Amino acid sequence: MTNREVELLAVGAGPSNLGLAVALEELAPDLADNALIIDRNPTIEWQSGLLLPWAKSQVSFLKDLVTLRNPRSRFSFLNFLKSTDRLDAFINLGNQSPYRLEISAYLNWVADSLTRVKLELGQDCVAIAPSRSSSGALTGWVASMADGSTITSRYLVIATGRDPNIPPALAGLPSDRVIHSTRYRPAIAGLQKQLPYRLALIGSSQSAAEVFRALRSDLPDSDVAWLMRSIGPTADPSSKFTNELYYPSYVDEFFDTPADGRVLIRQELYKTNYSCMTPAMLQSLYTDFYRDRLDRRHDRRLITLTEVTAAREEDGEVVLELTDRRTGSITELRRDMVFLGTGFNWQPPKLIQGLADAIGLKKIDVTRGYRLVVDEPAEAACYLQGINEATHGIGDSLLSVLAHRAKDITFDVLAHRAAGRSDNGASPAGHSADILNQIAGR
Query: Do 193 and 149 lie in a common domain?
Result: no
Indicate if the pLDDT at residue 14 is higher than 70. Answer: yes
Query: Do 320 and 182 lie in a common domain?
Result: yes
Query: Do 77 and 210 lie in a common domain?
Result: no
Query: Do 351 and 410 lie in a common domain?
Result: yes
**Residues of the chain with pLDDT > 70: what percent?**
95
User: What is the C-alpha to C-alpha distance for residues 402 and 14, in angstroms, rounded to an integer?
Assistant: 11
Q: What is the pLDDT of residues 331-373, one digit of tens each?
A: 999 999 999 999 999 899 999 999 999 999 999 999 999 999 9
Let me know if residue 257 belongs to a domain. no
User: What is the C-alpha to C-alpha distance for residues 277 and 269, in angstroms, rounded to an integer?
Assistant: 14
Let me know if residue 259 belongs to a domain. no
What's the burial of 3, exposed, middle or buried (CB within 10 Å: 0-12/13-18/19+)?
exposed
Let me know if residue 243 belongs to a domain. no
Structural domain ending residue among the three candidates 340, 355, 387: 340
> Is the pTM of the predicted complex or chain greater than 0.75?
yes
- In the chain, the number of structural domains is 2
Structural domain ending residue among the three candidates 290, 315, 340: 340
Let me know if residue 242 belongs to a domain. no
What's the burial of 293, exposed, middle or buried (CB within 10 Å: 0-12/13-18/19+)?
exposed
Query: Do 372 and 331 lie in a common domain?
Result: no
| pLDDT for res 58 | 87
Query: Do 18 and 78 lie in a common domain?
Result: yes
Query: Do 175 and 313 lie in a common domain?
Result: yes
Let me know if residue 122 belongs to a domain. yes
The CA distances from residue 298 to 317, 424, 440, in Å, are 21, 61, 61
The CA distances from residue 309 to 168, 228, 312, 329, 330, in Å, are 9, 12, 11, 12, 9
| pLDDT for res 218 | 96
Q: Look up residue 299 and give its DSSP letter.
A: S
| pLDDT for res 420 | 76
Let me know if residue 54 belongs to a domain. yes
| pLDDT for res 350 | 94
**Residues of the chain with pLDDT > 90: what percent?**
90
Let me know if residue 418 belongs to a domain. yes
The alpha helices in 325-401, defined as continuous H runs, are: 350-359, 389-392
| pLDDT for res 97 | 92
Query: Do 133 and 158 lie in a common domain?
Result: yes
Q: What is the pLDDT of residues 117-132, one digit of tens each?
A: 999 999 999 999 999 9
Exposed e or buried b per residue across 143-159, where buried means at least 16 C-beta atoms within 10 angstroms of its C-beta: bbbeeeebbbbbbbbbb
Q: Apex CA 100: angle with CA 165 and CA 92, to 5°?
A: 155
Query: Do 330 and 377 lie in a common domain?
Result: no
Indicate if the pLDDT at residue 442 is higher than 70. Answer: no
pLDDT confidence tier of residue 433, bands split at 50, 70 and 90: very low
User: What is the C-alpha to C-alpha distance for residues 272 and 247, in angstroms, rounded to an integer?
Assistant: 14
| pLDDT for res 427 | 44
Query: Do 90 and 152 lie in a common domain?
Result: yes
Residue 387 phi, psi (nearest 5): -125, 20
| pLDDT for res 438 | 47
Let me know if residue 81 belongs to a domain. yes
User: What is the C-alpha to C-alpha distance for residues 73 and 103, in angstroms, rounded to an integer?
Assistant: 17
Cβ neighbours of 189 (radius 10 Å): 8
Query: Do 325 and 353 lie in a common domain?
Result: no
pLDDT confidence tier of residue 135, bands split at 50, 70 and 90: confident
Indicate if the pLDDT at residue 426 is higher than 70. Answer: no
Query: Do 158 and 45 lie in a common domain?
Result: yes
> What is the CATH number for 102?
3.50.50.60
User: What is the C-alpha to C-alpha distance for residues 41 and 34, in angstroms, rounded to an integer?
Assistant: 22
Structural domain ending residue among the three candidates 313, 340, 367: 340
Range of the domain at 281: 168-236+273-340
pLDDT confidence tier of residue 1, bands split at 50, 70 and 90: low
Gap between the terminal Cα atoms of the chain:
41
Over the chain, what is the mean pLDDT?
A: 93
CA Rg value for the chain = 23
